[in-house]
Structure 1
Amino acid sequence: MTFSLVFAVLASGFIYGITPGPGVLAVLGIGAARGRRAGAGFLCGHLLGDVLWCGTALVAIVGARQVGSLLFDGLGVISGLYLFWLGLRALRSRPSTEEGQQGPVRQPFWHGVVFGLTNPKAYPVAVATFTALLSSRAEALTWSMLPLLIVLSFVGGLLAYAILVALVGARQVRTLYVRYELWITRACGLMFIGFAINALVHALPGLLAG
């Protein structure tokens, strides 16, 4: 496994974990209400869902690659278009009127488990993110690499969560996030559009040639 592939999988897990969304806002709210330990407990539970969805996404990506490059390129185009749509939605987002998850949670760990496992957007976002960053290295993907790929994605997510744990617990941090949430969301939208273009650039030529 090349260094570029290792870095791409680590980056995919990191970006998937740290990108602002319902889980990030929830942990900031829990941290502000109950402190860093409660926020860390929530994220530890949430990791279970991350491993499940990222692992499932990697199975789909490696499977598509092994079945044939045409299927993988098709998955790349679909993922690229999905990321592009998410990016446009983020760029067009309006100021939120909801306060998010602010109330105290009695069992942060189990709340995180349920939150991570029941997020309906988790799997498509994981597939799209991993496909976008791995499309240029598709020829290197094999079933024998799958366990290591899942571990690397887990490590990437863990690094993202370590940063979030360092931030939660400070009410000023959450206040700052809420104040600039719209701009952060739009910046992530631009990032998604960049990933989408990357995925389409690598997938479309193969799909059109096939």
Structure 2
Amino acid sequence: MTQSLLVGTFLAALFYVLIPGPAFLQLLGIGAGQGRKAGAFFMMGHLVGDILWSALALVAIVGARTIGTFVFDLLGLLCGFYLAWIGWSAVTAKPKGDGRALVTVKRPFRRGLIFGVTNPKGYPVALATFTALVAGSAGALDFEALPLLLSVSFLGFVTADLILVAIIGAGAVRRFYRAHERLIVRCSGVLFMGFAVQALWHATPGLLAWRKA
């Protein structure tokens, strides 16, 4: 087990939660309308989905690595393109300008649980993000390391949740987000594209070497 693998796993879990997406926008709406407590309950429910999708993603990554480097590199290549597509979609997104009113959520924990577990993009995004950030330490991946990686992922999720709960509900945060929504979304898109470049950077040399062989 290498330190870079642990750090990469922690950062993957952290960024998986912190990068603006549907759950982030839902949390912002709940926090802005009902305060930090409601937002915290939403994130506690959503944590179940985060753990589920990250566990499946890590099992897939470790399994691919165990089968052979070609499968792992091919997985990294596909994830790189997927991340690039997400990033490009965010960078080119157009504001809706519909001025939606905040909706009161009576059971934020249940909303977060359903939102996290039923999110169809949860698994591919987790798979792509974790692949991009642990690919550099692929040699240390095996099933024996899986429990520790899941524990580190859990710490990353909890850290990200605490960060979000600490900032939601603040008037300055709400005003800043509304004033700079387009910039925030585009910055998150650039970050996704950066992950894509990293995934492709690690996957391409292995695939080229396999082709030559």
8 Å Cα contact 2:19/2:188 also seen in 1? yes
Letter paired with 1:20: P
* Distance (Å, rounded) in 1 between the aligned partners of 2:67 and 2:149: 18
**How far, CA to CA, are the matches of 1:101 and 1:140 in structure 2?**
48
* Structure 1 residues 100 and 86: alpha-carbon distance in aligned structure 2, compared to 1, 3 A threshold: farther
Distance of 1:111 and 1:101 partners within structure 2: 18
Per-residue CA deviations over 1:100-154 (Å, capped at 9, x if unaligned) read 6821111110110000011111111100000001111111001011111111111
Matches within 5 A, 1:146-157: 146-157=146-157
Checking the alignment, whether the CA contact within 8 Å between 1:30 and 1:101 is kept in structure 2 is: no
Residues 97 and 36 of structure 1, relative CA distance in 2, 3 Å threshold: same
Whole-angstrom CA distance in 2 between matches of 1:103 and 1:197: 38
Give me the whole-angstrom Cα distance separating, in 1, the residues matched to 2:142 and 2:191. Answer: 28
Following the alignment from structure 2 to structure 1, what is the Cα–Cα distance between the partners of residues 55 and 116? 13
Aligned to 1:88: 88
1:183 maps to 183
Structure 2 partner of 1:51: 51
Q: Identify the residue that residue 127 of structure 2 maps to in structure 1.
A: 127
TM-score of the two chains, using structure 2 as the length reference: 0.95
* Per-residue deviation, 1:97: 2.8
Q: Which residue of 1 aligns with 2:14?
A: 14
CA contact (8 A) 1:43 1:109 kept: yes
Structure 2 unaligned residues grouped into runs of 5+: none
CA–CA distance in structure 2, aligned partners of residues 151 and 142 of structure 1: 15
Contact 2:2-2:137 at 8 Å conserved across structures: no
- Structure 1 residue aligned with 2:61: 61
* Partner in structure 2 of residue 73 of structure 1: 73
Identity fraction in percent: 50
Q: Deviations over 1:191-210 (max 9, x none)?
A: 11111111111101111221
> What's the CA shift string for 1:50-109, capped at 9, x where partnerless?
000011000000000001100000000000010111111111111133556821111110
1:32 maps to which residue? 32
For 1:158 and 1:101, the matched residues in 2 are separated by 29
Does the aligned pair in 1 maintain the 2:44–2:109 contact within 8 Å?
Answer: yes
Please identify runs of 4+ aligned residues in structure 1 that moved more than 6 A. none
Give the match for residue 111 of structure 1.
111
**TM-score (norm. length: structure 1):** 0.96
